[in-house]
Structure 1
């Protein structure tokens, strides 16, 4: 599932330019729900993989929910368990009939043996988490060489497993996009980055295995 609503160039420059960061935040507010949802799932540390959810889609179609804007994802967690996550547009919560059908969907999927979690659109669009997720996911296509990867991971291990994004980028001065390369490794879940505040050059980056 593509997560390229924000371009890598915009993402990298947003780390250094507050005006560009505002542009990314604006894009976050306008991003289609499925882009926003996938971007958020892509930066969750407990998530191993995300894919379409045919089982949930079948139940949704049967209940007349195929065209109401739900985003259905099958999520494999780091512990090995697989759950269904459903992003629910705000309009669906406000419509009594749709709201009832969505609860029926949750019951049907869970009765079939899989846990289903309903995620309101308002939760998905909460800031600064959404803008952070879009910044990170936009760097999914940044090229990182094996040498750059080894260099960054080795340096992090030497300093205790964590350093600022700025310091990490300085270790990759030979890269065409040092900050983007660091964020690319976040999308691969090799590294983690603090998401509680807007990402900037002072954000803490850590080895995922050390968290």
Structure 2
């Protein structure tokens, strides 16, 4: 955020709240929420929820007040309503009413405040996994990692998994397998070469 300062001896004028582009906050919140959903092996981001958006407008929320996403987890669909911190703290009762309206319409809605979406290091780990989506990993490399994990008892380190394969981007290749749900990694800890990698249940079934 930049501040415009009047040079010289005149008064310094601070921007009013009306000059703050709150849409940036909501766009970032939507993007980060979609990232967290996309790296979940059983979840999928489905896009907007026009019905819940219309309920939000009826409750007086503007398009820049909330990030609203339709997602699926397994075979069930849900709506995430993600309010920025200033909305969460000042309009919580209206948010609860919006959730109840959406649930009454069968949307299976839940509220996720900005602090939960932006929490680190989980968000950084999710971004790293998301960036690995486009990495190509051969069947041979996948099998090599799987054999390594089985021989290691289903638990290894990110470094050891990467060293097990001959890949131009070995760490990304391992994270690609995490994105597929074949492997799992603790998203609540900082991502390092020593991060613990686990073989997911059913990965070799």
Give the number of equivalent residue pairs. 176
1:190 shift after superposition: 2.1
Contact 2:80–2:112, Cα closer than 8 Å, also in 1: yes
1:64 shift after superposition: 4.1
Larger Rg: 2
Contact 1:36–1:130, Cα closer than 8 Å, also in 2: yes
User: What is the match of residue 27 of structure 1?
Assistant: none
Contact 1:143–1:181, Cα closer than 8 Å, also in 2: yes
User: What is the match of residue 49 of structure 1?
Assistant: 44
* Larger relative contact order (Cα-Cα within 8 Å, sequence gap ≥ 6): 1
TM superposition score normalised by structure 1:
0.73
Contact 1:136–1:184, Cα closer than 8 Å, also in 2: yes
User: What is the match of residue 35 of structure 1?
Assistant: 31
User: What is the match of residue 90 of structure 1?
Assistant: 85
1:205 is the counterpart of 2:172:
no
1:66 shift after superposition: 4.8
User: What is the match of residue 135 of structure 1?
Assistant: 128
1:180 is the counterpart of 2:172:
yes
Counterparts of 1:90 and 1:142, CA distance in 2: 35
Unaligned 5+ segments in structure 1 are 1-30
TM superposition score normalised by structure 2:
0.75
Counterparts of 2:61 and 2:176, CA distance in 1: 35
* Secondary structure of 1:141's aligned partner: coil
User: What is the match of residue 150 of structure 2?
Assistant: 157
Counterparts of 1:184 and 1:133, CA distance in 2: 11
Counterparts of 2:118 and 2:34, CA distance in 1: 12
* Secondary structure of 2:78's aligned partner: strand
1:42 shift after superposition: 3.0
RMSD between aligned residues: 2.3
Unaligned 5+ segments in structure 2 are 1-26
Contact 1:156–1:162, Cα closer than 8 Å, also in 2: yes
Contact 2:83–2:113, Cα closer than 8 Å, also in 1: yes
1:181 shift after superposition: 0.7
Structure 1 residue runs of 4 or more that deviate by more than 4 Å after TM superposition: none
Higher mean C-alpha deviation, range 152-161 or range 192-201:
152-161
With over 3 angstroms needed to count, the CA separation of the structure-2 counterparts of 1:113 and 1:175, relative to structure 1, is same
